[in-house]
Structure 1
Amino acid sequence: MKVIAVNGSPRPKGNTYHALKVVCDELNTEGIETKILQVGNMKIEGCISCYRCKDGYCIHNDEILNNMINEIYEADGLLLGSPVYYSGISGTMKCFLDRLFYASRGKMRHKVGASITVPRRSGGMPAFEQLNNYFLISEMLVVSSYYWNVIHGGKPGEVLDDAEGISVLKNLARNMSWVIKMKEETKNILPAPESYPRSWMNFIR
């Protein structure tokens, strides 16, 4: 059982990394393997709506990006982390997620997902909702904690001083571990439901 964490910060060892690592360390103690992928400092163009995605991949992905995407597809869970810019996620993170999720075409269905946002002061909730929207439209199983997964810090490492935020993330990790294990234990007992046929309709025809 494995969780892939995606760091959407351009700072490889900034507060977003530290927040993700708190969750990953707790998952490790629960017997869940983890890996943090660094995408926030990559040069990733946004989706151009060309509709030429193929087999779960954007046609413009390079080998490094494809390797990351393969790791996500193979994992049981996905953990997203982003700093907060103007009450939203980082631009590079959005480019990455737009292309990943649009091309995935069902490959993310029923994976376990959780997200974290890291503001200095405020704006965390709109960014948190933005990340969760990728999960919800993809039929993923979204895990929560006993508070929203927003942890605060300015200088790198300051999130570790947010005692309540740390407790929220550690509790999130335990819930995430439980859902992944429960899914694994019941996969032969309770098969996943077949997807209901989808109807398409434009608002203006």
Structure 2
Amino acid sequence: MKVLAVSGSPRPQGNTAFLLDEVLSELEKAGIETGRIDIAQANIKPCLGHDNCAEYKKCLQHDDMDAIFKDMAEADGLIVATPVYYYNVTAQLKAFIDRHYFLYKHDISLEFKAVGVVILAEEQGLDDTLNTLVQYLDSSFKVKAHELVVLTGYAAREGDAKDNAELISLARDMGQTLAATLKGAS
């Protein structure tokens, strides 16, 4: 079994990345293979919004999305993580989400046995960001809000998550819950 984590944070060592690593560590302790894609480090071009997208056999954008879609198709579980930037997901994650339009227009639906969401905000935007990710996961993968394992919290400054025992505990609990769901689905 494998869980793929998609991080929308432009900071590979930031608070979101730290908590995501805590979740992945728990999955690995449970014997589940993990992978992580840092969207900000990938070459992902924004969707061009072709009205005739369904007519193309491949997306006209030549970037890392084909490889990412392949990784996603091979995963049993998915985690999407993002800090809140200006009241919602990061621009990098939004470009990634928009590129799923190609799958939608080609009736390609990936399925996951377990799905998690990690969202950290400085002060505001948790609800809007969660709503955006729930809509994305439902429209792209038919994952309903009640099927998600969700971790939200606050971290105002870089490094705050490392000093927050409650967030660390929640991240570890999330990893254990996702592992139990995956093992129960086998």
Q: TM-score, normalised by structure 1?
A: 0.77
Q: Which residue of 1 aligns with 2:59?
A: 58
Query: Which is helix-richer, 1 or 2?
Result: 2
Q: Give unmatched runs, 5+ long, in structure 1.
A: 185-205
Q: Give unmatched runs, 5+ long, in structure 2.
A: none
Q: Which residue of 2 aligns with 1:38?
A: 38
Give 1 or 2 for the bigger CA radius of gyration. 1
> In the alignment, is the contact (CA less than 8 A) between 1:16 and 1:118 conserved in 2?
yes
| Higher normalized contact order (CA 8 Å, seq sep 6+, divided by chain length) | 2
1:143 matches 2:148:
yes
* Cα distance, 1:41 vs structure 2: 4.1
Compared CA separation, residues 131 and 153, structure 1 to 2 (3 A): same
> In the alignment, is the contact (CA less than 8 A) between 1:152 and 1:162 conserved in 2?
no
Matches of 2:169 and 2:62 in 1, distance apart?
37
| Correspondences of 1:158-197 after superposition (within 5 Å) | 158-184=160-186
Aligned AA (2:9): S
* Cα distance, 1:37 vs structure 2: 0.7
Matches of 2:156 and 2:168 in 1, distance apart?
15
Q: Tell me the matched-pair count.
A: 179
- Identity, % of aligned positions: 27
1:58-104 Cα distance to aligned partner (Å, 9 max, x none): 33142x33222211110001101111012100011011122136525
CA RMSD, Structure 1 to Structure 2 (Å): 2.2
Matches of 2:67 and 2:44 in 1, distance apart?
14
Q: TM-score, normalised by structure 2?
A: 0.84
> In the alignment, is the contact (CA less than 8 A) between 2:114 and 2:181 conserved in 1?
yes
Matches of 1:16 and 1:61 in 2, distance apart?
28
| Correspondences of 1:1-12 after superposition (within 5 Å) | 1-12=1-12
* Cα distance, 1:42 vs structure 2: 4.2
100-109 or 133-142: which moved more? 100-109
Compared CA separation, residues 7 and 156, structure 1 to 2 (3 A): same
Query: Which is strand-richer, 1 or 2?
Result: 2
> In the alignment, is the contact (CA less than 8 A) between 1:4 and 1:75 conserved in 2?
yes
Q: Which residue of 1 aligns with 2:90?
A: 90
1:101-125 Cα distance to aligned partner (Å, 9 max, x none): 6525343234421111111222222
Compared CA separation, residues 101 and 181, structure 1 to 2 (3 A): farther
Q: Which residue of 2 aligns with 1:121?
A: 123
27-36 or 92-101: which moved more? 92-101
Matches of 1:183 and 1:125 in 2, distance apart?
29
Matches of 1:26 and 1:155 in 2, distance apart?
25
